[in-house]
Amino acid sequence: MPLPNPLLDFAEPGRAGLPPFAAIRPEHIAPALDYILADNRKRRDALLAATRDYSWDNLAGPMEDLQERLQRVWGPVSHLNAVVNSEPLRAAYNAGVPRIAEYSAEIAQDERLYAAYKAIAARADYASLSPAQKKIIENTLRDFRLGGAELPPDRKARFKEIQKELSTLAAGYSENVLDATQAWELVLTDSADVAGLPPSALAMARQTAEREGKKGWKFTLEAPSYIAFMTYADRRELRQRMYEAFVTRASDQGPNAGRFDNGELMVRIVKLRKEAAALLDYENYAQYALQTRMAKTVPQVLDFLHDLAAKARPAARRDLEMLKDYARAEHNVERLEAWDLAYYSEKLRQSRYAFSQEELRPYFPETRVVPGMFEVVKRLYGLDIRPVQGVETWHPDVRFYEIRDDAGEVRGRFYVDLYARPNKRGGAWMDDCLSRRRRNGDVQVPVAYLTCNFSSPVDGRPALFTHEEVNTLFHEFGHGLHHMLTRVDYLGVAGINGVAWDAVELPSQFMENWCWERESLDLISGHYETGEKLPEALYRKMHAARNFQSGMQFVRQLEFALFDMRLHSDYDPDGSKSVQQLLDEVREEVAVVVPPAFNRFQNSFSHIFAGGYAAGYYSYKWAEVLSADAFSKFEERGVFDSGTGREFLQHILEQGGTREPMELFVAFRGREPSIEPLLRHSGLAA
């Protein structure tokens, strides 16, 4: 055993407690990996040598222990790299990434293990295993095949090398996006330059500048700052500068052209994925990726997306024409540019509905939204959520909570890290810290990370959220509930583990519905000064504007999904067509807004190049069909109908990956999903 190391102290499954974040240093990472990888290999060999009569108890269960030991070392490292990135931490993380990939590939290709799992599946007493145990065995056998276990030695070695290189490239891609985001700023000192911006955005920009000893207002490419500037700043040429900096991040264009360029990395990633799929005799990477999804073929996904595009594109065209007409008639703008869209869209929204997103912000203080969200969960599922004090975290802004059921049992715990800050990856996500497991009669309580990048408190006020940020918070908490409320006692299919990627967004998108209902809005809203609930007049305006430009938003998501699917199915990275040309083709097919030639959206499309959504971005729309239809059952029975809430808890949230997603959906809804609720919710039904 090496010198005392906080990562190794936390590593043993069954060890109580939480990651010792305050004690973890970059220099702990390599020694912890050295030990855990070597010891896991030794333990795996010992398990295989101990018997030839393999069973769940003497092999599959102990292999879950080894998997969790590694996760307990690497999980906190990966999380810290995302939320408090630094040069030493990044260097240690990057050194570990290919080692983790190499180990994972080694496990996936171990012929001895593969044979042992086959032997378990062939046992006379296999039928006596629980459904969860059998599902883990089935998934593991499938993953051995997908991991190259059946390949001849030369192809197996190449497949392993590819996985190792891909992990390094994904980390590099993500770092380039973070560095490019942080490398640009807009500091303004003339009040004329910030005309049109609301007080909340100005206060945030002033606080950002003061923090660095600068005068005036500092705007950045982090989401709260960028979105506010593009939506409200009157100075068109400054919006153009901001837009260009944002859409050229990590590319060969824009103010930092070539400095953090992901161009070559993207092509290399696609090329390696294609090669890996070919080694396993799949036509393309998308077909390989779909082996673990609800959707089974590339044509099925493309037909799904094209069908939605046919329904949404006419509405998107109408949205755009209406915006152009408005800008021309009311603001004398003959040609609407990409940096004008958010600005004039907000003006049009105010004109049509006498309503601005900024009007909502005072009614959604963090101090009402977070407790209100917990109350929504209590009414739906009978669960109580309370803060826990004194828990060690990675930043003073982080909060910690636990979930108890009506019997007093702790069902889950979670960290909440809400605000944007330097050295923190952009976006919002849920990740697992600990998964539920039963070992020696004791249940390990699942723990989640909920991470967002919202506006922070300013001038002594609580953080005031936009309604869109409230939606995002509910979305991520839906993922968290899926992870934490599982009743499955085996790691491989507990919570979100083992859930098909195109079904994993169901619980998250489902939760967003409670951001729109009057009954739930009364719980999550309250003016930060007076406590007044969201006024009825404002609520009606918000609801009337709910599907404002929904056609444009819909086709934008379809553009991303089609680009992803085509990139991983029919694109040739060795051919003459560039990634940009492929994206242009997709836009020609479905988009109504064509961005300027310098736009390099793909260079910061982390979801598919660094975030696990490769050939899977369609999942958002696929799961949206499921979530809209699931919510329609509440529309029929009442949005806080506790019986329906308990049914969703029982059939969806508690089941993890134990059964196929369609089976679980049918168990809850009584039938297969219908697309009609999604079209109705999106204002496209007509």
- Which active-site residues does the annotation give? 476
Q: CA-CA distance, 259 to 595, in Å (whole number)? A: 22
376-386 burial code (b ≥16 CB/10 A, e <16): bbbbbbebebe
Tell me the pairing of strands 217-220 and 437-439. Answer: unpaired
Q: From start to end of 142-301, where are the E strands?
A: 185-188, 217-220
> What are the helix and strand counts (H, E) for the chain?
27, 9
- Burial of 318-357, coded b for 16+ CB within 10 Å and e otherwise, reads ebbeebbebbeeeeebeebebbbbbbbbbbbbbeebebbb
Which residue is it, tokens 């990472």? 29
Q: What separation in angstroms does the CA of 112 have from each of 39, 102, 108?
A: 18, 17, 11
Q: What angle do CA 481, 485, 486 make, to 5 degrees?
A: 120
List C-alpha distances in Å: 168 to 98, 162, 268, 609, 612.
6, 10, 11, 11, 14
CA distance 232 to 234: 6
With beta carbons less than 8 A apart as the criterion, state whether 665 and 633 touch: no
H or E element: which one contains 476? helix 467-484
CB 320 within 8 A of CB 552: yes
Q: List C-alpha distances in Å: 632 to 205, 321, 328, 373.
A: 41, 32, 40, 20
CA atoms within 13 A on the CB side of 309: 21
* DSSP-derived 3-state class of residue 30: helix
Residues with Cβ within 8 Å of 531's Cβ and at least 6 positions away in sequence, in order, are none
| Burial profile 540-561: b = 16 or more Cβ within 10 angstroms, e = fewer | ebbeebebbbbbbebbbbbbbb
Alpha carbons 398 and 389: distance in angstroms, whole number? 11
Q: How far is CA 82 from each of CA 75, 423, 430, rounded to the nearest angstrom?
A: 11, 8, 12
Query: Are 495 and 436 spatial neighbours (Cβ–Cβ below 8 Å)?
Result: yes
What is the C-alpha to C-alpha distance for residues 229 and 240, in angstroms, rounded to an integer? 11
| Cα distance between residue 35 and residue 46, in whole Å | 16
> Are 529 and 373 a contacting pair, CB within 8 Å?
no
Amino acid residing at 21: F
Q: Which residues pair with 447 in a beta bridge?
A: 413, 434
User: What does the DSSP assignment read for 185-200?
Assistant: EEEE--GGGGTT--HH
Q: Please tell me the distance from the alpha carbon of residue 616 to that of residue 289, in angstroms, as a whole number.
A: 8
